[in-house]
Amino acid sequence: MKTDRQFELECSRRHFLKGAGTAALGAAGITALATSIPGFIKDANAVGASMEKWPWPYVKLDPDKTAEIAYNEWYRVFCGAAVINAVFSQLREKVGEPYKSFPADSFVFLEGGMAGWGTVCGSNAGANIVSNLIIGPRIGGPDCEHGHTIGSDMMDWYSNTPLPTYTPKEPKQKTAIIQTKSESPLCHVSVGKWMDKSGFVLGSAERKDRCARVAASVAHKLVVDLNAWKDATFKPKSTWTPGKTFGITAQQNCAECHPAKVPAPPTARK
Ligand code: HEC
């Protein structure tokens, strides 16, 4: 495994090459970087891509179809595995391996913010697993300074968007499902705020359908972003790097959980 510092160095080198403006030099540089990382496939679209190596080949998918699959899969394997399966079940058909061998259902444990602990919403975790397998390590993204850009953008979008955004073609629940903004990528906060505003309890059919629609909304955005990335038009919207900006890994709205006073991490005290 490379250290963060090594990735940073490779990142800046790639930026330098891009800045030089010579396409040929840039491409050569990227190939050199790609081959320098163990397990990094030179040509991600090469036939017979293997399970051990990544990133994996991607072909553009239909966002609405993906969202529908995610919605229905939620009722079988819940949020995280639903998002993964929504994308990978289609790539299994269109690409084959390594998607065929990937045990997407095993990610059923992401349910309820990982085994019911309310940490990161499984839809966000699933989207990060998918984008990371397809885009690859930090140097693979269009703007490597922001790490796993599509995954990070997803957390940002999820936190700042009234969800769910997606309405299934044939909703299993006919009751109106209200939208709430979580201001957090966490399952606990997201589900909690929705339950508080809607009045529906955790075990209700409405809460379940809300989470199925959230998974569908995330799967939809994920494929929109992956398609843009494939076309080289993806532009990351979140421009902050939590570790560097705050000296602690976190979501950026510190006051949401520290309303009285945001504690300073040791680096900021020095
Ligand atoms: C989702 C809620 C949440 C968010 C958002 C959050 N924190 Fe925290 N943070 C906590 C909790 C809970 C603790 C445990 C201690 C406590 O209860 O204050 C903690 C602890 C800390 C600590 C350890 C020292 C201490 O006083 O306990 C620091 C430093 C800290 N947070 C800084 C930040 C900063 C800076 C941000 C924004 C970049 C941030 N936090 C965002 C929930 C949060």
Q: Which two tokens stand for residue 236?
A: 């990351």
Residue 258 CA, ligand 1 centroid: distance in Å: 6
Percent of the chain whose pLDDT exceeds 90? 61
Query: Which residue has its alpha carbon closest to ligand 1 atom 41?
Result: 254
∠24-28-34 over CA atoms, to 5°?
145
Ligand 1 centroid from CA 204, angstroms: 32
Q: Say if residue 115 is exposed, middle or buried (CB neighbours under 10 Å; 0-12, 13-18, 19+).
A: exposed
Number of Cβ within 10 Å of residue 92's Cβ equals 17
Nearest of 202, 106, 193, 204 to residue 158 by alpha carbon: 193
Q: Within its chain, how far is the Cα of 140 from the centroid? A: 15
d(CA 119, CA 255): 18
- Ligand 1: nearest atom to the Cα of 256: 5
Residue nearest to atom 22 of ligand 1 (CA): 263
pLDDT tens-digit map of 148-168 = 688 889 999 999 999 999 999
Beta carbons of 83 and 218 less than 8 angstroms apart: yes
Q: Whose CA is nearest to atom 27 of ligand 1?
A: 263
Task: At 3, list the tokens.
Answer: 């250290």
- Atom number in ligand 1 closest to CA 265: 29
Query: Of all atoms in ligand 1, which is nearest to the CA of residue 242?
Result: 38
**Confidence category of residue 1, pLDDT binned at 50, 70, 90:** very low
Atom of ligand 1 nearest to the CA of 186: 1
Residue 205 has pLDDT above 90, yes or no: yes
Note the pLDDT tens digit of each residue in 57-103.
Answer: 999 999 999 999 999 999 999 999 999 999 999 999 999 999 999 99
What is the atom index within ligand 1 of the atom nearest the CA of 189? 1
Question: What ligand 1 atom has the least distance to the C-alpha of 264?
Answer: 29
Within 6 A (CB) of ligand 1 lie: 184, 186, 246, 248, 250-254, 256-258, 262-263, 265
What's the gap in Å between 125 CA and the centre of ligand 1? 21
Q: Does 34 or 128 have the greater pLDDT score?
A: 128
Q: What percent of the chain has pLDDT over 70?
A: 74
Residue 248 Cα, ligand 1 centroid: separation in angstroms? Answer: 9
Q: What average pLDDT does range 168-196 have in this prediction?
A: 97
Spatial separation of the C-alpha atoms in residues 206 and 185, rounded to whole Å: 21
Q: Whose alpha carbon is nearest atom 20 of ligand 1?
A: 263
What is the C-alpha to C-alpha distance for residues 123 and 113, in angstroms, rounded to an integer?
Answer: 9
Contacts of 192 (CB under 8 A, 6+ apart): none
In the predicted model, is pLDDT for residue 32 greater than 60? Answer: no
Per-residue pLDDT of 228-253, as tens digits, reads 999 989 888 876 666 777 888 888 89
33 close to 140: Cβ distance less than 8 angstroms? no
Contact criterion met (CB below 8 Å) for 190 and 157: no
